[in-house]
Amino acid sequence: MSARRTFLLGLSALATTLSISPAAVAQDGWPAKTVKLVVPFAAGGTSDILARHLAAQLQISLKQTVIVENKAGAGGVIGADSVAKAPNDGYTLLLGTIATHAINPALSPKMPYDAARDFSPVMLLGSISNVLLVTSSESAKTARELIGKAKAKPGSYAFASAGQGTSQHMSGETLKLLAGIDLLHVPYKGSGPAIQDVIAGQVPMSFETVTVALPHIQAGKVRALAVTSAQRSRALPDVPTLQESGVPGFDVASWQGIFAPAGTPPAIVNRLNSELQKVIAQPETKARMETLGLEYSPNSPKQFAEFQAAEQAKWAKVAKDGNVRLD
């Protein structure tokens, strides 16, 4: 080989080396330092409990420290925005939800981040169905009967929710649209006060997550008429879906997932997805997720991205058709 050819090949190799991005170099040794998982809600809730369990298991799997940081406020927007603006090196992750990545973007025109553009979906962790509850004195024994009564007296029924923009609120808005009924929304500051007022008969009905509602249903304090998901809930197998109750197309479930900032190297995203699937397959994690009411099916980053896009489109339509906006 001539000296000139050797020299040119050397230049080509050097150019190739220099063209490798810092992110590509960083991913080879990832994780080399502490990974932070941001929970955009207060400590003690479903998202926080799930995040802390996953962080503890990932710490073992990744052989690196994984910490949970709570950044609550504005219905999850503050914490999600902090991750959207974080470096895309795989060291800052978000436990996002239906609120941060589907409902809030549909209801709030002035979001500080773009839920689709500013994140790399990693994995859908699971979904929790809501359940339509009525006070124990309500005469309607099925969701079909309740809808019939609401149609006969428009505006006479109110439903309680855990607050504006929650999946419980949007379950009621979806029922209004798909069943063609007029309901009054009564938002509360959380699930606790909402369900207590249904138990007391102050509000005749509500939508609540199966996790929160189950002990009250079992105690006979409220009655479950239907679940909001397309399939029956494993926790309430004898309770029909709203689709089975005469409302075609009704499919609402609160969900949780892991996101990274947009532009995070695919190798890191895929590694995280793989490690999370291993963690969720562990009996201890399965049991914890069942306790939280989460129903999980394996999924890839691409599948999660497609799911999120469909959820955003769905809630944008509900917001537009129902003229629903956050104050």
Residues 48-92: tens digit of each pLDDT: 999 999 999 999 999 999 999 999 888 899 999 999 999 999 999
Report pLDDT for 324.
Answer: 87
Q: Side-chain half-sphere of 59: how many Cα atoms within 13 Å? A: 13
Kindly state the average pLDDT of the residues 163-171: 90
Report pLDDT for 2.
Answer: 47
Those residues whose C-beta lies under 8 Å from the C-beta of residue 287, and which sit 6 or more positions away, are none
Strand ranges inside the chain, DSSP E: 35-39, 66-70, 92-97, 119-135, 157-161, 183-187, 205-209, 222-227, 253-261
Phi-psi sector, 57: left (phi>0), alpha (psi -120 to 50), beta: alpha
pLDDT per position as a tens digit, 187-225: 988 888 999 999 999 999 999 999 889 999 999 999 999
Give the lowest-confidence range in 170-174, 239-243, 281-285, 289-293. Answer: 289-293
pLDDT per position as a tens digit, 101-160: 999 999 988 899 999 999 999 999 999 999 999 999 999 999 999 999 999 999 889 999
Report pLDDT for 27.
Answer: 54
* Burial profile 78-114: b = 16 or more Cβ within 10 angstroms, e = fewer: bbbbbbbebebbbbbbbbbbbbbbbbbbbbbeebebe
Query: Which structural domains are found in the chain, ordered by start?
Result: 16-127+253-321 (3.40.190.150), 128-227 (3.40.190.10)
Report pLDDT for 168.
Answer: 92
Q: How far apart are CA 28 and CA 18, in angstroms?
A: 16
39, β-bridge pairs? 70
The count of residues in the chain is 327
Report pLDDT for 46.
Answer: 85
SS (H, E, C) 268-296: HHHHHHHHHHHHHHCHHHHHHHHHCCCEC
256, β-bridge pairs? 97, 126
